[in-house]
Every structure is written in C-alpha cells, then in structure tokens.
Amino acid sequence: MSLVKDIIEALKSKRVILGIVTAAIIGVNTELALMDDETLMKLTGVAAALIVGDSLRSTNPQKDIK
C-alpha cells in the first residue's frame, strides 16, 4: 500500500502537473491548430526548462545537514 501512496504523492508534484498540462496543450493544439509550430515548440521548451530546473534544485536544503 505504501507504493500506491508514494505514486499518488508523486502525481501531486508540480513537475508532473506541468508535464500533464503541457501534454494537454499539445494534444488540444494538434486537434484545433490554435498555435503555430514555433510557438508550441517555445512553450514546450519553457515547460521542459521549468521541470528540469525544479528537479535539479534542492527541494529541502536543510535535509542534507541532518
């Protein structure tokens, strides 16, 4: 049961939510053609940079001190 709880907690993270929102925007844009490819590529790049930046920075710097 701990594994399920960990997965649910992971799905609540900012990174996962941003990834899902980005995928949804790409999916909707594929059907409706709301943005051109260059704008969509820039949006995807910004989302990827935010996800990677959030992954690389220390979430809780005090945790390493203990």
pLDDT at residue 21 above 60?
yes
Q: How far apart are CA 41 and CA 59, in angstroms?
A: 28
Tell me the mean pLDDT in the region 29-37.
Answer: 88
Average the pLDDT over 30-49 and give the result. Answer: 89
Q: Find the mean pLDDT for residues 17-31.
A: 87
pTM of the model: 0.62
Report the pLDDT value the prediction gives residue 2, as an integer from 0 to 100: 80
Q: Evaluate whether 46 touches 22 at the Cβ level (below 8 Å).
A: no
Confidence of residue 19 (pLDDT cuts 50, 70, 90): confident
Distance, in Å, from the CA atom of 64 to the CA atom of 24, rounded to the nearest integer, reads 36
